[in-house]
Amino acid sequence: MKITRFCPAKVNLFLEVTGKRPNGYHELTTLFAKIDLGDHLNLDLTPASQTEISLQVTGPIGAQIPACADNLVCKAARAFLEHYALQARIHITLDKHIPTGAGLGGGSSDAAGVLLALCEAFDKNPLELIDLAAQLGADVPLFLYPDTFLKGQGIGEKLTPLPAAKTLPALLLIYPLVPVSTKEVFARMHVPRQDDILTNLSKLDRLIGAVQNGCPFSAWQPLLFNRLEDYVLPFVSPVQQALHTLQRANNGIGLMSGSGSTVFTLVGTKQNAQELAARLQYTQALVFPAVFHKGTVYANYRNKSTPHS
């Protein structure tokens, strides 16, 4: 059996740090949005009496990714088979386009893509795997959902799918060719004051309303927020420079995604994004025009609710 999947990247339209757990993990409230920049997975499955998993990585980012058993896609495949007490021979080809260390969730999306492909092959419900996905990585559960927009809480694994208007803006992303270590960002992190958190969470409520009601992207602008910018921009000058470039080019609109290093801005249409990219002529970076990705509801996606929402 051969299965092909598209694995979309994500951006964070909003990200606030709301606390810190005793184990050192930070609690977040965030608004995830999937975009049409992504990787492509091909899985070749054959019956076997003993599990064998192999990986080939191709694509423009492929040289940066080790094709070994420690790759998250291999771990996801093995975890799925062990969870359901199955054996199979699986060869995975990963065509890699999402940069690493970029705040775009590429590795998490690829791991979820493997889980979804195996759910399709073995007729399993993806939402049975939320806890397993969270053990692979905090962002992996996000990509088990077909929804474009999801509110994330906890360490990002408590997810609430959100409906959105049919008309949505486009995006332009800049990856400044430097990865950012999420671990190092959170090591610098200080939990903000409670009144600051509450003020920002009220912005999130309004931002969700703007997304759902189809408000023009100019209405989104004052509500976009990422607390982690305070712990990346002063320390990683290429990210700061890329963000300033976008903000100067597009009326001050710009935000870092996740823990960086990708920054993005909102525009009216993908054509507008392409025109803006041409005007920027940004040579020390990768520039990606994009739109929000509207996923497919899978046949075995039987229950829209989640025990964590």
Pairing of strands 2-20, 26-46: antiparallel
3-class SS string, 115-168: HHHHHHHHCCCHHHHHHHHHHHCCCCHHHHCCCCEEEEECCCCEEEEECCCCCC
Task: Report the catalytic residues.
Answer: 10, 139
29 neighbors 18 (Cβ within 8 angstroms): yes
* Residue among 134, 177, 171, 166 at smallest CA distance from 307: 134
Tokens of 291: 């739109």
Beta-carbon neighbour count of residue 196 at 10 Å? Answer: 12
Q: Give the list of residues 6+ apart from residue 250 with CB closer than 8 angstroms, or none.
A: 172, 265, 266, 267, 276
Tokens of 144: 């088990």
270 neighbors 207 (Cβ within 8 angstroms): no
